Structure 1
Amino acid sequence: MSSINYQVPTVAEIKRQAKKSLPAFEVVSLFAGGGGSSTGYRMAGGKVLAINEFVEEARKTYRANWPDTHIFPDDVRQLTGEAILKQLVLKPGELDILDGSPPCSAFSTAGKRDKNWGKAKKYSDTSQENVEDLFFEYIRILREIKPKVFVAENVAGLSIGTAKGYLNQILSKLKKSGYYVECRQLDARFLGVPQTRNRLIFVGVRNDLFLPSMAGKLHPSPFDYVVPLKAAIGNLKLSDSDREFTDISKLATYKLLKTLKPGEQHHKRFNLIKAHPNKPSGCVTASSGARGTAAVHHWDNRMFSVAEVKRIMSIPDDYILTGNDTKKIERLGRMVPPLMMKAVAENIQKVVLNAHSNQLDF
């Protein structure tokens, strides 16, 4: 497995490729964060026309890498599909893909889950009420824009326990919006990402474009390989500042970590995992850079560096991240791995958009 050639295109390469040919499809992304899903769409040959992102620091990161993309900085509750269409000079029904990753911490399998529903929560650099209801704001905008296809991403915890009620509401509203909808849990490690990361991916095709032959094919099939961590990060060297940042030898976490073998999870601190060099990483979360026990760590009993986390997330090496190292890893932990979204987008292009390539030009 260590012989796998793991390569993520750089931002510079993605931009050069985009100049060589017309975009395969066009996307608007809501809750775009620092640009993980957007980067995946671009890797698949798509053009991101505009995004919405509420968190200022995430917008700074996005703008630093994709300065030509229009950013709607509004709270999504104040954003309308009409405003998006007006900015892009589009009519309802013309957009190829509406993407969105509504904040989902309340549904995460790690945490207090329904005890926090309906409460104000600190989300990145902001505090917002009822973030679990933002999926319904996504649906409101979906109904106004009427894209050919939509893609929505959320944590796997949305399908577990009490949260299933929300999931059923979401699916019902999406279908009533005029779409054939499929929802499947995908693991990023089976889509070329060197990380175990389970996410619910909703894909919908507008009813007038749906063909029976598309049923059961809206999500990508698992790859026939997984990328071990050593293949992804083995050639990276730690700088002096990296060594300082990743050193936890004076923290209590270090003592717990030393008791674990590579690939093991702590029996009490279940979010503390020691990575195995010959397997994909555990899930990188927003708290992975916070120097605590709620994170996957290197087999050398240290934290991962920012450069290593980029590789684990399939983020380009030259991707610009703002803030200190802890904030950079937080930003990475909130992203959708680009290679995961690339696989989703390429499948949509093949199964849906190509099937109507002659009819989709309204």
Structure 2
Amino acid sequence: MAYAERLESAWLDHLVPRSIDAPTVVSTFAGCGGSSLGYSMAGFEERLAVEWNEKQAASFVANFPDVPLHLGDIADLSDADALRLSRLAPGELDVFDGSPPCQGFSLAGGRVFEDKRNQLFLEYVRLLKTFAPKAFVMENVRGMVIGKMRLIFADILRELKATGYQVSARVLIASHYGVPQARPRMIFVGIRNDLAALGVAPSHPQPLFARGVTVREAWHGVINEPEELDVARFGTNRLVHRILYRMSPGEYADKYHPNRQLYGMHRLDFDQVSPTILRNGGAGGVCEACHPSEHRRATIAELKRLGSFPDSFVMRGSFQDRWAAIGNSVPPLFMRAIAAHVRQLLATVEERHVESA
């Protein structure tokens, strides 16, 4: 099945009404809904989402109008309100999901050990204790296991285990799960201790694709609106234009010019998987994801394909807002694979319950 057809098929799975016994999920740091869409594609019913950014939340609401949303700081969501909004009692939730902001861990940033953003996972842990779900999934960047950041990784792992879970953590690559983007991410999977005692250990999905989806395959049939193409062009930035004319597919701008303004500027290659899409590529005069042959940025329609967002997924806000939403998101097809795997783990738990009854 061609990539665009797989995306459309997954979108139709998202639109299917949930069965009364559908597994449940709560999503924190939900952004525009990348993780939420992945869970929905895997048949989950989302009971609550938490997001503080109004611009990203606007996209979330456009696509998930029936999901209760706490719009604001996660620290302001009390335990009682979280349970009330989700219509759940402690222990009833199937999966608790979250991607705490990763800038403090990211290899693209300064990786400051004391960065306050590295502490937001404690709010995730607080609500994990509140819901006491059967399983949890937490996503972050692989930078947390490099250099001194390993100390923070150890703290996170210790804290998660202390809440009563068996935990497995692995770096997974999004392109191995059908996403046309080589996006490495640390994925934590936890199974509650009483369920793990039945012989169901936390684990991760095996790669689904031996070969990644290329940019050419991802963009087959994509439709760009004229006004989007206008926004994607670089305007009057002569330096960017001069360097772009010299760049070949797959090359970075620093090969041709040492100016830090051009740091990270990259021409995509039609016949390769895209590198990780960053949140700030839609702003300023340069961009890490430039078209392979045209002298412009990728459009939002093209970026949605690279991020495994179906064409029908609604993105709100400016060009920069929508780019940031995609750059911040867990690719839906990536999360669908993880969600489907965790759903199977929980199904095995149910089978063990029946066998032991």
Whether TM-score is above 0.5 comes out as: yes
After superposition, where does 1:298-337 map in structure 2 within 5 Å?
298-300=291-293, 301-337=295-331
1:172 Cα offset (Å): 0.4
Whether the aligned pair in 1 keeps the contact of 2:53 and 2:72 (CA below 8 Å) is no
1:291 Cα offset (Å): 4.3
Decide which of 139, 162, 172 is 1:186's aligned counterpart: 172
Cross-structure match for 2:160:
174
Cross-structure match for 1:18:
17
Cross-structure match for 1:127:
none
TM-aligned CA distance change 1:347 to 1:294, over 3 Å:
same
1:332 Cα offset (Å): 1.4
1:321 Cα offset (Å): 1.4
1:66 Cα offset (Å): 0.7
Cross-structure match for 1:41:
39
Cross-structure match for 1:122:
none
Distance between the aligned counterparts of 2:352 and 2:90, measured in 1? 16
Whether the aligned pair in 1 keeps the contact of 2:234 and 2:285 (CA below 8 Å) is no
Give the match's secondary structure for 2:234: coil
Distance between the aligned counterparts of 1:152 and 1:145, measured in 2? 15
Whether the aligned pair in 2 keeps the contact of 1:262 and 1:299 (CA below 8 Å) is yes
Distance between the aligned counterparts of 1:93 and 1:207, measured in 2? 12
Cross-structure match for 1:221:
207
Whether the aligned pair in 2 keeps the contact of 1:313 and 1:337 (CA below 8 Å) is yes
Q: RMSD in angstroms over aligned alpha carbons?
A: 2.4
Show CA shifts across 1:237-288 (max 9, x none). Answer: 4332122112226322232233322122344555222111111111111111
Q: Which amino acid aligns with 1:265?
A: Y
Give the match's secondary structure for 1:245: helix
Distance between the aligned counterparts of 1:312 and 1:265, measured in 2? 19
Cross-structure match for 2:265:
272
Whether the aligned pair in 2 keeps the contact of 1:10 and 1:318 (CA below 8 Å) is no
Decide which of 197, 220, 242 is 1:255's aligned counterpart: 242
After superposition, where does 1:221-240 map in structure 2 within 5 Å?
221-240=207-226
TM-aligned CA distance change 1:70 to 1:216, over 3 Å:
closer
TM-aligned CA distance change 1:231 to 1:291, over 3 Å:
farther
After superposition, where does 1:47-58 map in structure 2 within 5 Å?
47-58=45-56
Whether the aligned pair in 2 keeps the contact of 1:192 and 1:340 (CA below 8 Å) is yes
Whether the aligned pair in 2 keeps the contact of 1:6 and 1:232 (CA below 8 Å) is no
Give the match's secondary structure for 1:209: helix
Unaligned segments of structure 1, at least 5 residues: 119-129
Cross-structure match for 1:107:
105
Query: Is residue 84 of structure 1 aligned with residue 82 of structure 2?
Result: yes
1:74 Cα offset (Å): 3.2
Q: Which amino acid aligns with 2:12?
A: E
Decide which of 321, 346, 351 is 1:353's aligned counterpart: 346
Whether the aligned pair in 2 keeps the contact of 1:30 and 1:138 (CA below 8 Å) is yes
% identical aligned pairs:
33
TM-aligned CA distance change 1:10 to 1:310, over 3 Å:
farther
Whether the aligned pair in 2 keeps the contact of 1:23 and 1:46 (CA below 8 Å) is no
Whether the aligned pair in 1 keeps the contact of 2:234 and 2:240 (CA below 8 Å) is yes
1:111 Cα offset (Å): 2.3
Cross-structure match for 1:121:
none
TM-aligned CA distance change 1:291 to 1:304, over 3 Å:
farther
TM-aligned CA distance change 1:164 to 1:15, over 3 Å:
closer
Distance between the aligned counterparts of 1:271 and 1:213, measured in 2? 46
Q: Which amino acid aligns with 1:188?
A: A
- Greater shift, 240-249 or 132-141, is seen at 240-249
Q: Which amino acid aligns with 2:328?
A: R
Cross-structure match for 2:184:
198
Distance between the aligned counterparts of 1:29 and 1:291, measured in 2? 31
| TM-score for both structures, normalised by structure 2 | 0.89
Whether the aligned pair in 2 keeps the contact of 1:28 and 1:49 (CA below 8 Å) is yes
Give the match's secondary structure for 1:208: helix
| TM-score for both structures, normalised by structure 1 | 0.88
TM-aligned CA distance change 1:302 to 1:23, over 3 Å:
farther
Q: Which amino acid aligns with 1:279?
A: Q
Whether the aligned pair in 2 keeps the contact of 1:81 and 1:142 (CA below 8 Å) is no
Distance between the aligned counterparts of 2:75 and 2:211, measured in 1? 41
1:211 Cα offset (Å): 5.1
TM-aligned CA distance change 1:249 to 1:72, over 3 Å:
closer
Q: Which amino acid aligns with 1:307?
A: A
Distance between the aligned counterparts of 2:87 and 2:16, measured in 1? 25
Show CA shifts across 1:306-361 (max 9, x none). Answer: 111111101121111111112111111111100000000111112x1111225779
Whether the aligned pair in 2 keeps the contact of 1:220 and 1:343 (CA below 8 Å) is no
Whether the aligned pair in 2 keeps the contact of 1:291 and 1:303 (CA below 8 Å) is no
Decide which of 290, 300, 304 is 1:297's aligned counterpart: 290
